[in-house]
Structure 1
Amino acid sequence: MIRDAETTTRVPQNSAKSARRVAYAALAGTAMEWYDYYLFGLAAALVFNRLYFTTLDPRAASLAAFATFGVGFVARPLGAILFGSIGDRIGRRPALLLSVTLIGAATVCMGLLPDFAAIGVAAPVFLVLLRLVQGVAVGGEWSGAMTIAVEHAPADQRSKLAALVQLSSPIATLLSSGAFTLVLLLPEESFDAWGWRLPFIAALPMLIIALIMRSKIEESPEFARIAEAGTRPRVPFVALFRRAPGRLGIAILVSMLGVGGFYFMNTFLVNFGANERGIDRQIMVNAMLVAAVVQAGVTLWSGRLATRFGPGRVTLWGGLATAVVAFPVFWLVDTQHPVAAIAALSLGLSAVILAYGVAGSALAGLFPTELRYSGVSLGYNLAAVVGGFLPLAAQASLGWSSGGSWGPALLFAAFGLATALGGALAHRVLPRG
């Protein structure tokens, strides 16, 4: 058995002002990292299928691009083990500096990578390798930022500050979608030749800024306490499976919708609207921009709800809401009306974010300090192995649903119900508030 993580260690908490400063620094670095990661999702839907898988028919090329997108998720558990070990053995801070460097470098290299017409089959091979590096880095990024923010926070502010860090997702969506909106204004030939590369190369100055901000984050007081006491596990992920397998399972369920549902919306649904229903791709990208603004508001609201009702219960509500809106989201896109498409992305993403906004505080609360980085990392990223392939599964479902939207809608609803179950289980074991 394992005690509630909130009461496993008794350490002096930072002031609310200091904790907020740490949360903002974690937010800034994570926003940059998600920007890099989300760019790949947009490019998979709009670019890679045409420029890196040119020998395939359009639907097969989309499948190949989404498969490459999903490869990054397979690498994330490896990153979770690597960075979880660094974070629980050496410290949260060095793990965060390393993860942001890796993903920034990989993203810039993607922007410089020649396409299939230039170097042939080597192009998709190198694209997959760079995506693997991204996946390893992200395997330790979000969990580290969330862990250090929660561990600096006063107990009654943890859900709110964890939700604040979650604003990195809509900020990154706005930046990545906004960048693609601008380059899509170029003539199609210019966009295909060099325009799409600019958002990727822009990751370089963002990486420098993120490293400067990350270097100013202090180590968490809770980690300093266990380091001084000598209670750090020798092999954190082994200790995790031995001491808290049940909580790890709950963490996976809690995370499934946030990981899979988000990429389902901003990758598959964008592609579905543009390529399957003939909606202008610029409209679909603009719809993501609108949805990101809505997402920011829902994220902060979810943190307030979690402070009052508990993150487990809010996760349950988000999962159920997703199951309810799954089919209406696709009915709206099926109309092929621009306003309906914008409403569809905002509606679907709002339901997903109700659960995702509190995922950080829910996962951090499941594990004790000495296993927290590894527990949050593995729970979140094992869910990503399944969730990352949701866009691919949804694309494949169009085959057995004869192009009908009910196939992907059914998959979307199933993910919502899985996370609803995780929220119900988490509510039983998490401390309240």
Structure 2
Amino acid sequence: MSKTEQTAPGATPPGTSAVVTGQDAARVAFAAFVGTALEWYDYFLFGTAAALVFNRLYFTTLDPAAATLAAFATFGVGFAARPVGALVFGWLGDRMGRRPALLITVVMIGVATGLIGVLPSYAAIGVAAPLLLVLLRLLQGIAVGGEWGGAVTLAVEHAPPEKRGRYAALPQIGSPVGTLLSSGAFALVLLLPSGSFDSWGWRLPFLAAFPLLGIAVYIRRKVEESPLFDEMLKQDERAKVPALDVFRQAWGRLLVAMASATLGVGGFYLLTTFMISYGADTLGLSRSLMVNGTLVAAVAQIAVILVMGRVAERFGPGRVTVWGGLLTALLAFPVFWLVETKNPVVVVLAMAAGIGALSVAYAVSGALLAELFPARLRYSGVALAYNLAGALTGFLPFLASALLGTFDGASWPVVLLLIGLSLLTALGGFLGERMRVRDNVVAV
């Protein structure tokens, strides 16, 4: 057994194996991608709206700077709720099955997002408006806390071992596609007169969550349960309290997984949610330019994810994670310097370069995290690692905005923050490559 195929606590005994096929893997990965794209569309809408509209419509009693901080704090609440979703849906996914957990999460976030589209403003119902906004963000966070880990787990467990990189990358593409859909929707409604945008235009992207939800549910209902989970049912190998076993038996793996996922979560929001606010409010660039920058970056991200998923099959997801972390650290200062030129073309290219660099590590995060935990703990382990990393980094746009105010608009403290995240992720990839486990599966 090689260094990258170690036995983890609670791993499936050698005598049992599950059968997987390439055809099933492709179908399941596509279904995981569709649901994940909807989840991220819903989730990213909030980030864009926090930067563009929530500060003015839901926190109107505060001065502009404080209102922006409050909007980003509300944005961060969703990340704080994600570990709760990881616990709840991790238990459901490891005890009752991956498939039912994923159906519940996609319905939950679709409904919460659609309801934001009909939420009255502060001017209409007073303090109840921001409180309800926080509540709906909490529901979004809980749902996403269970969604990503389940989608990656299902995609990986249906895939032949030698092709896990490419199939685990498909749910990752849901992130840039969600960005394209959400940023594209806001780019369209920003074409409206400012009065129309503030009164009803911004609500349209949120209301679109309802029909998109119907499509995602239809596709996900056709997905079969994980063959590894079915094998665990036959052998009665399920953990009674999976999250507890993760903390007791695999806490070292959990910490490594969290470190490796940090850049893909926190770094991404620094270069999207925070960057939109920084460009529009501090540098005086147009909101449309900054939103369009995220659109171009999302296209670059899709290309990087597709390529790196294949590269990980040859070199290992941990090594690719190291490369992504180091590359992002090297580009951090140049990206911000180029944005500060205020040249529209250069700004867009800089955003694409920065997000493309961190996407090297993000592309293989699903494959790496899934192989850090045995099947009986996988849903909970992957979900907890990813979402604890999210909870720790979700307030970074808030922190970055606070640093910006503290240092009179200077960006270097924010850049150092990004470099720190990048190096932490590189360390997680270095350690994670040496801790990967192998499932007992037979590909046909």
TM-score range relative to shorter protein:
over 0.9
Partner of 2:144: 138
Asked if the contact 2:296/2:348 (under 8 Å) is kept, the reply is yes
Aligned residue type for 1:416: S
Distance in 1 between the 2:252 and 2:121 partners?
45
Partner of 1:177: 183
Distance in 2 between the 1:235 and 1:432 partners?
22
Partner of 2:3: none
Shift of 1:399: 2.3
Asked if the contact 1:9/1:368 (under 8 Å) is kept, the reply is no
TM-score by length of 2: 0.95
Could you tell me which runs of 5 or more consecutive residues in structure 2 were left unpaired when the two chains were aligned: 1-6, 440-444
| Distance change in 2, residues 1:7/1:328 (3 Å) | farther
Asked if the contact 1:4/1:366 (under 8 Å) is kept, the reply is no
- Decide which of 341, 359, 367 is 1:335's aligned counterpart: 341
SS in 2 for 1:2: coil
| Cα deviation digits, residues 243-293 of structure 1 (max 9, x gap) | 111000111101111111111111000110111101110011111111110
Distance in 1 between the 2:438 and 2:303 partners?
23
Shift of 1:9: 7.8
Asked if the contact 1:66/1:392 (under 8 Å) is kept, the reply is yes
Distance in 1 between the 2:434 and 2:10 partners?
11
Asked if the contact 2:9/2:250 (under 8 Å) is kept, the reply is no
| Cα deviation digits, residues 34-75 of structure 1 (max 9, x gap) | 100000000000010111111112111111100000001111
Partner of 1:41: 47
Asked if the contact 1:310/1:432 (under 8 Å) is kept, the reply is no
1:389 matched to 2:404: no
SS in 1 for 2:18: coil
| Cα deviation digits, residues 149-176 of structure 1 (max 9, x gap) | 0000001110111112211111111100
Partner of 2:350: 344
Aligned residue type for 2:252: G
Partner of 2:158: 152
Aligned residue type for 1:415: L
1:215 matched to 2:229: no
Aligned residue type for 1:421: L
SS in 2 for 1:55: coil
1:255 matched to 2:265: no
Partner of 1:74: 80
- Decide which of 371, 375, 378 is 1:369's aligned counterpart: 375
- Decide which of 106, 118, 122 is 1:100's aligned counterpart: 106
Aligned residue type for 1:131: R
Distance in 2 between the 1:240 and 1:346 partners?
36
1:166 matched to 2:172: yes
SS in 2 for 1:403: coil
1:380 matched to 2:386: yes
Distance in 1 between the 2:389 and 2:152 partners?
17
| Distance change in 2, residues 1:9/1:190 (3 Å) | farther
SS in 1 for 2:202: helix
Bigger shift: 136-145 or 13-22? 13-22
Asked if the contact 1:20/1:161 (under 8 Å) is kept, the reply is yes
1:305 matched to 2:311: yes
Asked if the contact 2:105/2:144 (under 8 Å) is kept, the reply is yes
Distance in 1 between the 2:236 and 2:22 partners?
28
Distance in 2 between the 1:89 and 1:432 partners?
21
Asked if the contact 1:5/1:365 (under 8 Å) is kept, the reply is no
Asked if the contact 1:5/1:364 (under 8 Å) is kept, the reply is no
Distance in 1 between the 2:390 and 2:306 partners?
23
Bigger shift: 328-337 or 130-139? 328-337
Asked if the contact 1:158/1:361 (under 8 Å) is kept, the reply is yes
Distance in 1 between the 2:198 and 2:302 partners?
31
- Decide which of 197, 202, 206 is 1:196's aligned counterpart: 202
Shift of 1:305: 1.4
Distance in 2 between the 1:407 and 1:401 partners?
8
Partner of 1:276: 282
Distance in 1 between the 2:185 and 2:73 partners?
24
TM-score by length of 1: 0.98
Partner of 1:127: 133
SS in 2 for 1:13: strand
| Distance change in 2, residues 1:309/1:283 (3 Å) | same
Asked if the contact 1:253/1:421 (under 8 Å) is kept, the reply is yes
- Decide which of 259, 273, 276 is 1:267's aligned counterpart: 273
Structure with bigger RCO (C-alpha 8 Å, 6+ apart):
2
Distance in 2 between the 1:4 and 1:99 partners?
26
Asked if the contact 1:6/1:431 (under 8 Å) is kept, the reply is no
SS in 2 for 1:166: helix
| Distance change in 2, residues 1:22/1:84 (3 Å) | same
Partner of 2:410: 404
Asked if the contact 2:374/2:437 (under 8 Å) is kept, the reply is no
Q: Cα RMSD over matched residues?
A: 1.5
Bigger shift: 317-326 or 217-226? 317-326
Partner of 2:252: 246
Count of aligned pairs between the two proteins: 433
Aligned residue type for 1:352: L
Shift of 1:432: 9.1
Shift of 1:3: 5.5
Aligned residue type for 2:158: H
1:289 matched to 2:295: yes
Asked if the contact 1:33/1:103 (under 8 Å) is kept, the reply is yes
Aligned residue type for 1:405: S
